[in-house]
Amino acid sequence: MTMGGFDAEIVRDFLTESGELINQLESDLVVLERAPKDEAMLNQVFRALHTIKGSASFLAITPLVRVAHAAETALNAARAGQAEVDRAAMDLLLEAVDLIKSQLGQIEAGSALSEAREALVSGLVAIGEGGAKPAAAPVAPALATPEPASIASQTPAPAAPPAPATPGEMARTPLKLEGGKADLLEFLISDLDESTAKVAALVSGLSQTPGQKPAKQSCEQLGDLGEQLVRTAQFFEFGPLVAMSNAVHQAGLQLPDLNAEGVGQVLPRLGLVCRHLEEMARGVRAGELRSPTPGTLLESLGSLLHGVDIPEDRTVGPATPLSEIARLEHAWCDEQATTAPTAATPAASAPETVAASPELEAPAAPVAPAISQASAGADHPAAPKGEAATTKAAATENTIRVDVSRLEALMNLVGELVLQKNRVSALTRRAQMLECADSDFSEAITLTAGALDRVTGEIQTAVMRTRLQPLDKLFGRYPRLIRDLAGKTGKKMRLVIEGGETEVDKSVMEELGDPLVHLLRNSADHGLEMPDERAKNGKDETGTITLRASHEGSHVRVQVADDGRGLLREKIARKAVERGLVTPERAQAMSDREIFNFIFEAGFSTAEKVSDLSGRGVGMDVVRTNIQKVKGEIELASEPGRGTTVTISIPLTVAILPAMMVGVGKETYAIPLTNILEIVRPQADQLSSIGEHPVMRLRNTVLPLVSGSEVMEQASGGEKVPEPFAVVLSMNDRRIGLMVSKLIGQQEVVIKPLDDSQAASKRAVSGATVRDDGGVSLIIDVAELMRRAETLHHASAA
Amino acid sequence: MSEATQTTNNTGFAGRQLQLVTFDVAGEEFAVDILAVQEINRMMELTRVPQSPPEVEGVINLRGKIIPVLDLRKKFGQPSAERTETSRIVVIEVHKRVLGFIVDRVHEVLRISGDIVEPAPPMACSIDAEFIAGVGKLPDRLLILLDIDKLFSAEAAHAAANASKSKAA
């Protein structure tokens, strides 16, 4: 599907924004299910959906608008208390959310959009009508709008009843929309009607209490409604409506800050604005764009809202009839005919209206900036006030989106800056050693170098921090998962999330996603018992799964704990013996922890039945592999009858790795510190070989050895590189000794990716890092090293 | 240069002004479009990467980015030579990848008319005609215009590696 005519950037923004909203929406819905009466949450959910729908209709994405509108209808009824968000309703709403999600994906991929199934739309609409349950409403008409379908068709329906009391001073043009937009007309009309009615209600509510400060909440609602109206109006590309709606929006923002006098002037005028809006809505419904003459109405409102006085002859009182206001502002009003007698000079309005007519000639001309222009025209410092309004609006949005690649580029440059800084420090030390006559000079250098050091360090930390995100972003997906799992398994369960505010690097977050889904599924499917079994054992029928995150030094710890049946040692041990992973005798002697660790082996599953959810034995080893990929560790603890806890510990950032620097021949390599058990200097009598392969005896165990220069393919020209040290590496309870020439020391290194298209095969190097002197050192991939050594040693061990 | 790549076998350069960087590899003079060249550096210490294709000499640190560096001599199936004072690393961007290649010497930046560029005669020089975009006939010498898109595409790198192996065999 091509988003014909629209800038790719607009579509991308839409996708990003809607993507975030829909994710939030999903987790909010799950919260809502537990507390269906939570009004704030209902409103939040409704608003998110409404925003998505609004943007989608602007882009004329019909299938998406259709499902969003149906869901919105249902939610609206729930807000009004006419419908209840029960489980069935929630199923439909979540289905709608899923559909929108996949539609967003399809837009991104440029493929055709899937349509909502009829039962989904009709079901949601049925909820919206507060009527029968979805099941009982098989095929209600797809759209709930009472308006005849003729409007949706391409040609406007001139047959629609003309607006009552049509005055002369109003331009009319038939409403013409492009194909895609015409389909959406019905939604937009009902939106327009609804919002207009609400604005009118709010304004009249506010007018009930003259002299009092307007209620803040009402003003906020007014501002929101105005904003929605502006969006709808933009969809119709109908300038006058945009201008009017914008006035409502601005009024909502500014009203709370006005003095009583100002409010007294603004509210009656808003009443007139409502009349105009209603008339325009009526016009759209009748298939035409009606532009009632605004006269000086918007100008006056603009001035008033920015605290600028208006000409005295335009001041009105709370009881001034609308027709009188209209006369003062030379604006259109449908009450003119009836109230004309009270107006002092009814005839006077006519010529002036003619004067305003040039505006009428071009009803679609953008009139949106009317308000700001008006305030700028007055010789009052209105501009700063306008700015203040902008700042206020911006206060809610104090974040910006930045392309990750830019942050990465920044990070790279900072890394380079650190290197240069290190060189300066080294040069400074040398300068001090030189017998420099000018000691002041040398001291100045030292001070400057010190300051540079500090600043660079701070920049580095600051840049790192830009990549950190709270885990809530990830955890937010899981309540939905648990809800669905509860539905599928027939178990009762709840998810408790703790420490969601813990921040981790973006890439770490990405790597954590899948493993956590696996673990949560395991807990829900295998860990927790059925409600009756739980009741029998004296437990709460509802099982609890806890997802807990916390910082621990430079690591972040994430725990998935359930209060289910726990792991059975015997079962796992039996399975391990069956699979030949361990001898029965050995299994006897192993600790619980060692036994439990077998479930991380590939293809290991003790579940009696393979379910849709898990139990195929592909889960846990994938979990472990993913975690190890980001240099993390995973541990499992379990107590029969009390539950299982899996603890994942991963570095805060994957960009920095604590490593041991070693020398092999002329090169320097970095080895991840997490994999190093110890470093020994083998004596001659400890070394021997099995077959062709060197080994060493290390405290009653035999440690296979590999030569660093061999693994790293250093062409030594026949000479053997002396390698006196053995670095004992361990991973997944396997050990190996890597022989190296030199130990340089421990260091935190910044990981840089290697250009992988140059790799002929999988290599024992996971990346590279830049040394203090600007040279490059490779980082040894311990997992790959083990694999190589194992294939080598396998023959000799057998 | 990218335009030139589509026209390997005719003088697609006709009527255009070309701005080229010229350099020596194993006694022959080559040229690449100046727009493809990011920078030219003096030789620096290379870090060898195990399990790499033979023409990849190693990696260097280019302002915080690790880039592979190839030896053009090996790429052309020539024996590698000692690095000298004049050896340079030419850094280019091709297929959105940044990489460097070692040349024996960098000569100059040259403007020539595309009219004097002719298709590469097969078997005329030491390298595969596939990698040659054309031959520039200067009054006093010949200039081989390299097709870097083909020369440094990952597939070509492997193919070349295999080819040089089979040639050696």
Write the DSSP string, A744-769.
Answer: EEEEEEE-B---GGG-SS--SEEEEE
What pLDDT digit, counting tens, does each position of A318-358 carry? 677 777 777 777 777 776 544 444 434 444 444 443 443 44
- Residue ranges per structural domain of chain A: 8-144, 150-154+177-395, 404-466, 470-651, 656-797
Cβ–Cβ under 8 Å, residues B110 and B10: no
Whole-angstrom distance, CA of residue A493 vs CA of residue A496: 10
Strand order in the sheet with B56-62: B37-42, B88-94, B97-103, B65-71, B56-62
Whole-angstrom distance, CA of residue A565 vs CA of residue A572: 14
Q: What is the 3-state secondary structure (H, E, C) of A428-465?
A: HHHHHHCCCCCHHHHHHHHHHHHHHHHHHHHHHHHHHH
Q: Does A753 touch chain B (CB under 8 A)?
A: yes
Burial class (CB in 10 A: 0-12, 13-18, 19+), A569: middle
Smallest Cα distance from A730 to chain B, Å: 22
Of residues B56, B64, B67, nearest to A416 (C-beta): B64
Give the residue-averaged pLDDT of B86-108: 89
Q: Does B161 touch chain A (CB under 8 A)?
A: yes
Of A126-135, A384-393, A733-742, give the range with the top mean pLDDT: A733-742
Contact list, B67 vs chain A (CB under 8 Å):
755
Of A6-15, A56-65, B86-95, B130-139, give the range with the top mean pLDDT: B86-95
Average pLDDT over chain A, rounded to whole? 75
Smallest Cα distance from A785 to chain B, Å: 12
Going through A149-193 in order, the beta strands assigned E by DSSP cover: 170-174
pLDDT given at position A737: 92
Cβ within 8 Å of residue A420, ≥6 positions away? none
* Topology classification of domain A8-144: Four Helix Bundle (Hemerythrin (Met), subunit A) (1.20.120)
Distance set, CA A409 to CA A232, A330, A462, A506, A721 (Å): 40, 59, 14, 15, 38
pLDDT given at position A665: 85
Per the listing, tokens 């700042």 go with A391
Range with lowest mean pLDDT among A169-178, A642-651, B47-56: A169-178
Per the listing, tokens 């996603």 go with A513
pLDDT given at position B167: 41
Using DSSP's 3-state secondary structure scheme, residue A113 falls into coil
Cβ within 8 Å of residue B81, ≥6 positions away? B26, B73, B104
Per the listing, tokens 């560790």 go with A633
A768/B59 Cβ within 8 A: yes
Percentage of chain A with pLDDT > 90? Answer: 5
Nearest one of A713, A726, A710 to A792, comparing CA atoms: A710
| pLDDT at residue B158 tops 70 | no
A760/B52 Cβ within 8 A: yes
Q: According to CATH, what is the number of the domain A470-651?
A: 3.30.565.10
pLDDT given at position A388: 43
| pLDDT at residue B168 tops 60 | no
| pLDDT at residue A670 tops 50 | yes
Using DSSP's 3-state secondary structure scheme, residue A290 falls into strand
Nearest one of B112, B103, B111, B106 to B137, comparing CA atoms: B112
pLDDT given at position A695: 87
What pLDDT digit, counting tens, does each position of B16-44 carry? 888 999 999 888 899 999 988 999 999 88
B63/A755 Cβ within 8 A: no
Cβ–Cβ under 8 Å, residues A785 and A706: yes
What pLDDT digit, counting tens, does each position of A533-585 carry? 888 988 888 899 999 998 876 678 899 999 988 888 888 888 888 877 788 88
What pLDDT digit, counting tens, does each position of A284-322 carry? 777 777 777 777 777 777 777 777 777 777 777 767 777
What interhelical angle do A87-109 and A62-79 show, nearest 10? 150
Whole-angstrom distance, CA of residue A614 vs CA of residue B58: 45
Out of 3.40.50.1360, 2.40.50.180, 2.30.30.40, 2.60.40.10, the CATH code matching B2-168 is 2.40.50.180
Angle at B106 between CA B100 and CA B112, to 5 degrees: 105
Whole-angstrom distance, CA of residue A693 vs CA of residue A690: 5
Distance set, CA A571 to CA A561, A592, A604, A617 (Å): 20, 12, 12, 15
Query: Among positive and negative, which fits the CA dihedral A85, A88, A91, A97?
Result: negative
Give the residue-averaged pLDDT of A732-748: 85
Q: Does A759 touch chain B (CB under 8 A)?
A: yes
Nearest one of A97, A101, A95, A98 to A15, comparing CA atoms: A101
Contact list, A416 vs chain B (CB under 8 Å):
63-64
Token pair, residue B52, equals 């790499």
Burial class (CB in 10 A: 0-12, 13-18, 19+), A385: middle
Cβ–Cβ under 8 Å, residues A303 and A378: yes
What pLDDT digit, counting tens, does each position of A255-273 carry? 777 777 777 788 888 888 8
Q: How confident is the model at residue A467 (pLDDT cuts 50, 70, 90)?
A: confident
Contact list, A463 vs chain B (CB under 8 Å):
none
DSSP single-letter state for residue A114? P
pLDDT given at position B164: 44
| pLDDT at residue B125 tops 70 | no
- Residue ranges per structural domain of chain B: 2-168
Q: Does A763 touch chain B (CB under 8 A)?
A: yes
Same fold, A470-651 and A656-797: no
Out of 3.30.43.10, 2.40.50.180, 3.10.450.50, 3.10.440.10, the CATH code matching A656-797 is 2.40.50.180
Rounded to two decimals, the ipTM of the complex is: 0.73
Across the strands, what pairs with A745?
A661
